[in-house]
A and B are shown apart, each in its own frame.
Chain A
Amino acid sequence: MADVAALSSFLVSAVGLAVPLALAALGETVSERAGVINIGLEGSVIWGALGGALGALAAGPWAGLAVGAFAGGTTALLFAVFAVRLNTDQIITGTAVTIGSLGFTGAVFQSRFGVTGLALELPTAPAWEVPLLSRIPVLGPAFFDQAATAYLAYALVPALGWFLFRTRWGLALRAVGESPDAAHAAGVPVVRARTLAVVFGGLTAGLAGAHLSLVHTGTFAEGMSAGKGFIAIAVVVLGRWSPKGVVAAALFFGGAEALQFALQAWDADLPYPLFLALPYVLSLAALAGWFGRSRAPEGLGVGWPR
């Protein structure tokens, strides 16, 4: 019985940790399907976390989530103005956006709350229990007693699958990612499509950040994104650019992170930095394995001069 309870609480924690990765990675999937690799995703996550914190302090957790998404989307828009509109190098632009976001979120945070280092206490978004489904043994509480962000992530999987593979706009978006010249010749507005895809990715990455501050921790700390945005990009590769695959990969990483917490709780003398490194090492190992060979959209990372 104790084992079942332990498993159950492990799963709850795994799903909770997977949600921000899944949100950010689903958005990045759309962006990469349109041919843009956004390393600035990490910047969207940290701005989402700060925006979430400020919004929640001003008007409660729901406003916080909205402000977080907006902040993430705005960050991505800045990236898109450079990398899509001005057609600057995507990698370098994304790196700059991430560096700047880490710096300026710190600056905003310090000017608003000082440099005292006191932990901030935020109103958190509550978990919603889904009637009936949450009663399923073990899996029920893990998947159906989570915050709103989790349900949004679930809903995005079929929605994005339908959008990308069953609609005209999805076909156009994928065409932009595979071959921007062909898409342009077919009358698809390449710059607008790429910009919208990137901004969508920023919105979900912002939500992922808000999840970190308003669901996961209830506080904000400088640099709290801690590479989540980067891992999300690895998750997209492992999920082979499909919404279902991406969510599966996100759950895998959520599990790895939960395992690390569980092991720490189990024996405090274990060297915890090694466990902290675990998700990153796993990402590398998975990329090196058979996953790495799946085919990216052909136009990924390639600029398109108008």
Chain B
Amino acid sequence: MNTHGSVPSAARLRDVSRRFGPVTALDGVSFDLVPGEIHGLLGENGAGKTTLARVLGGLLVPDGGRVEIGGRVVALRNARDARALGVAMVHQHFSLVPRFTGFENVALFDRGAWTGRGAAAPGYRDRVEARAGELGLEVELDVPVSELGVGARQRIEILKALMSETGVLLLDEPTAVLAPREVDGLFAVLKEVSGAGTAIVLVAHKLDEVLAAADRVTVLRRGRWVLTEEAASVSAGELAEAMVGGAVGGGVPGVGVGRGKRVGWAAQVADPLGGRGEGADEVADAGPPPVASLRNVGTTRDGRSALRDVTLDVRRGEVLGIAGVDGNGQRELARVLAGVRTPDRGRAILPEEVGWIPQDRSGEGLVNGFTISENVAFALHGRDACRKGPWLDWAGIADAAAELVREMDVRATSSAAPASVLSGGNQQKVVTGREFLRSGNLLVAESPTRGLDVKATVAVRSRIAALARDGDRTPGVVLISADLDEILELSDRIAVMARGRLVPVPRDAHNRRDIGELMLGARGADAP
């Protein structure tokens, strides 16, 4: 059957292209997948790696080129076609129905769950549990998935994908939302699955993780294929260069972050904690008066505690890093610090105006249909300086926006351009610049580089770093991020958020392993 060589391919793309309007997401890419391998697919944001995975998963129909599965050319029209050929996909943004239970979600995907007449098949439940046992997946099947943690949801997702015979398993950024120990658990499961002959595509942008798990690696850049190598024979530096297409200034996220070692600007800054807070096990500590303080703050959301007994101080010129797995109360903490949410319990002393870079850039940080000026006006429209009598001084606001565009190096034709035409990185620069405008005392940055490519990440991080060294105007910065590398790189002090509680991290524990343990450990300790 196979005529191409000794190893039969599980799947193969030949010269595949796909455009979205004016954007070419994939440009004549070829790609081979061997049964039983874990194949890392690397690239910056917008490099086309998700698009490639979606073409293989049947979710996107390519404009040109050929898709082969199991040695035969196929035309995939939708996810069902791909599934029928043994291709399953685990999505970056989970594709589970939040209000359905784990079991319902598994059954929705699986033809085997039903009799020919559409009724539930007898014994299906047992088969699901047996399969989960085989794969070593701990899953909760009878709880609505909206009530599960991210890791638990991902396990449901993987179980769902592997319920029927699967030749190709596609995982899109599966580690982005996991704590380090959960990542190890995931990779163990993947080794198990690939050992049974399934080919796995692991889409990722973190080099060290891919190198740890993958057998082979392919790099895409701007929609084009760059290289495919054995993971053992290529270095992180070579891959980083292949991804970016040139040397990158500053630190490359995820590269060369050894234990406790800092990259980029932070290494050059004198430790502002020196001489105080030695071994402090409080997030609030002695020192100059803080710009913001929380004391025993608690909030309740939908009848449940979102924040519990949170105490912290933030001072000028420091970056307080708050690590944690997504969904442990970080959003609520950001809302409290920004003054949008009033605590139900405890006390919050906050500056009048707070800069807040929200996590959801396009949904909360910006209005896509508004121009850059109008988006900047969010910070300015309430100021007397931006009014003339009852009228808004749009000319003044436009000037401020134009200056922001220059200063932040936003690539846009003018400040009258709508935000929707900007790339993710440039959008984030606008948000960051705007929040700097109101951050005289306190800046809250929530996952400020999520979804940005390497260059934009470096740019945004160095802006935040520079801000914290900006003389008298220096605010205190609270950096909330699920990206441990980012936290370690930028923070002066670190705390971990777990189950709504804030746990300070002693200075001698500022490393991936210890913080990772706290992210999970504190959670375990709190469980009933």
Q: Consider the complex of A and B and state whether they touch directly, i.e. have CB atoms less than 8 Å apart.
A: yes
A-to-B contact residues, CB < 8 Å: 166-169, 171-172, 174-175, 178-179, 181-189, 298
Min Cβ gap B166→A in Å is: 14
**A169 and chain B: residue at smallest CB distance:** B118
Given A168-B113, A172-B108: A182 in contact with B95 (beta carbons within 8 A): yes
User: Is the interface on chain B under 10, 10 to 19, 20 to 34, or 35 or more residues?
Assistant: 20 to 34
B96 CB within 8 Å of chain A: yes
CB-CB < 8 A to A166: which residues of B? 119-120
From B98-106, B179-187, B419-427, B517-525, give the one contacting chain A. B98-106
CB-CB < 8 A to B93: which residues of A? 181
Given A178-B98, A298-B99: A184 in contact with B114 (beta carbons within 8 A): no
Among A167, A187, A189, A298, the residue within 8 A (CB) of B119 is A167
CB-CB < 8 A to A179: which residues of B? 96-98
Extra pairs beyond A168-B114, A178-B100, A186-B108 (5, CB < 8 Å): A168-B118, A169-B118, A184-B59, A184-B78, A187-B80
CB-CB < 8 A to B108: which residues of A? 171-172, 175, 183, 186, 188
Among B79, B96, B114, the residue within 8 A (CB) of A187 is B79
Among B79, B91, B104, the residue within 8 A (CB) of A171 is B104
Among A167, A168, A182, A187, the residue within 8 A (CB) of B97 is A182
Min Cβ gap B35→A in Å is: 23
**B117 and chain A: residue at smallest CB distance:** A167
Among B78, B83, B97, B114, the residue within 8 A (CB) of A175 is B97
Among A167, A174, A187, the residue within 8 A (CB) of B109 is A187
> How far, in whole Å, are A178 and B96 apart by their CA atoms in the complex?
10
CB-CB < 8 A to A298: which residues of B? 98-99
Query: SS class of chain A's interface: helix, strand, loop or mixed?
Result: helix
4 nearest A-B pairs in the assembled complex, by CB-CB distance: A187-B80, A185-B95, A168-B114, A167-B118
> How far, in whole Å, are A178 and B95 apart by their CA atoms in the complex?
11
B29 CB within 8 Å of chain A: no
> How far, in whole Å, are A132 and B91 apart by their CA atoms in the complex?
58
CB-CB < 8 A to A174: which residues of B? 97, 100
> How far, in whole Å, are A184 and B91 apart by their CA atoms in the complex?
12
CB-CB < 8 A to B99: which residues of A? 178, 298
Given A171-B107, A175-B108: A182 in contact with B118 (beta carbons within 8 A): no
> How far, in whole Å, are A291 and B109 apart by their CA atoms in the complex?
33
B89 CB within 8 Å of chain A: yes
Can you give 16 contacting A-B residue pairs, CB < 8 Å?
A: A168-B118, A168-B120, A169-B118, A171-B107, A171-B108, A174-B100, A175-B100, A175-B108, A179-B98, A181-B93, A181-B95, A182-B97, A184-B59, A186-B79, A188-B108, A298-B99
> How far, in whole Å, are A188 and B95 apart by their CA atoms in the complex?
12
CB-CB < 8 A to A171: which residues of B? 100, 104, 107-108
Among A167, A181, A187, A189, the residue within 8 A (CB) of B83 is A187
Min Cβ gap A183→B in Å is: 7
Cβ A183 vs Cβ B97 within 8 A: yes
The residues in B between 84 and 140 inclusive whose CB is less than 8 angstroms from any CB of A are 89, 91, 93-100, 104-105, 107-109, 113-114, 118-120
Min Cβ gap A101→B in Å is: 32
**B96 and chain A: residue at smallest CB distance:** A182
Cβ B91 vs Cβ A185 within 8 A: yes
CB-CB < 8 A to B95: which residues of A? 181-182, 185-186
Min Cβ gap A186→B in Å is: 5
> How far, in whole Å, are A96 and B99 apart by their CA atoms in the complex?
32
> How far, in whole Å, are A179 and B93 apart by their CA atoms in the complex?
12
The residues in B between 467 and 499 inclusive whose CB is less than 8 angstroms from any CB of A are none
Min Cβ gap A39→B in Å is: 24
> How far, in whole Å, are A168 and B106 apart by their CA atoms in the complex?
12
CB-CB < 8 A to B109: which residues of A? 186-187
CB-CB < 8 A to A181: which residues of B? 93, 95
CB-CB < 8 A to B96: which residues of A? 179, 182
CB-CB < 8 A to B120: which residues of A? 166, 168
Cβ B59 vs Cβ A185 within 8 A: yes
> How far, in whole Å, are A298 and B98 apart by their CA atoms in the complex?
9
Min Cβ gap A191→B in Å is: 11
> How far, in whole Å, are A188 and B59 apart by their CA atoms in the complex?
11
**A189 and chain B: residue at smallest CB distance:** B78
> How far, in whole Å, are A175 and B91 apart by their CA atoms in the complex?
17
Cβ B78 vs Cβ A187 within 8 A: yes
Cβ A178 vs Cβ B97 within 8 A: yes
CB-CB < 8 A to B91: which residues of A? 185
- Between A167, A181, A185, the greatest number of chain B beta carbons within 10 A of the residue's beta carbon is seen for A185
**A299 and chain B: residue at smallest CB distance:** B97
> How far, in whole Å, are A189 and B108 apart by their CA atoms in the complex?
13
> How far, in whole Å, are A174 and B108 apart by their CA atoms in the complex?
10
CB-CB < 8 A to A183: which residues of B? 97, 108
- Between B99, B108, B113, B120, the greatest number of chain A beta carbons within 10 A of the residue's beta carbon is seen for B108
CB-CB < 8 A to A175: which residues of B? 97, 100, 108
CB-CB < 8 A to B79: which residues of A? 184-187
Min Cβ gap B452→A in Å is: 23
> How far, in whole Å, are A169 and B116 apart by their CA atoms in the complex?
12
> How far, in whole Å, are A171 and B118 apart by their CA atoms in the complex?
10
> How far, in whole Å, are A189 and B168 apart by their CA atoms in the complex?
22
- Between A172, A175, A184, the greatest number of chain B beta carbons within 10 A of the residue's beta carbon is seen for A175
CB-CB < 8 A to A172: which residues of B? 108
Min Cβ gap A104→B in Å is: 34
Min Cβ gap B376→A in Å is: 28
**B59 and chain A: residue at smallest CB distance:** A185
Min Cβ gap A162→B in Å is: 9
CB-CB < 8 A to B83: which residues of A? 187
Min Cβ gap B58→A in Å is: 8
> How far, in whole Å, are A189 and B78 apart by their CA atoms in the complex?
9
CB-CB < 8 A to A178: which residues of B? 97-100
**B146 and chain A: residue at smallest CB distance:** A298
CB-CB < 8 A to A189: which residues of B? 78
Min Cβ gap A89→B in Å is: 15
> How far, in whole Å, are A171 and B107 apart by their CA atoms in the complex?
9
CB-CB < 8 A to A186: which residues of B? 79, 95, 108-109
> How far, in whole Å, are A121 and B104 apart by their CA atoms in the complex?
52
**A181 and chain B: residue at smallest CB distance:** B95
> How far, in whole Å, are A298 and B145 apart by their CA atoms in the complex?
14
> How far, in whole Å, are A220 and B267 apart by their CA atoms in the complex?
83
> How far, in whole Å, are A168 and B107 apart by their CA atoms in the complex?
8
Among A167, A168, A185, the residue within 8 A (CB) of B89 is A185
> How far, in whole Å, are A175 and B99 apart by their CA atoms in the complex?
9
Min Cβ gap B396→A in Å is: 35
> How far, in whole Å, are A188 and B78 apart by their CA atoms in the complex?
9
Min Cβ gap B87→A in Å is: 11
Min Cβ gap A185→B in Å is: 4
> How far, in whole Å, are A167 and B120 apart by their CA atoms in the complex?
6
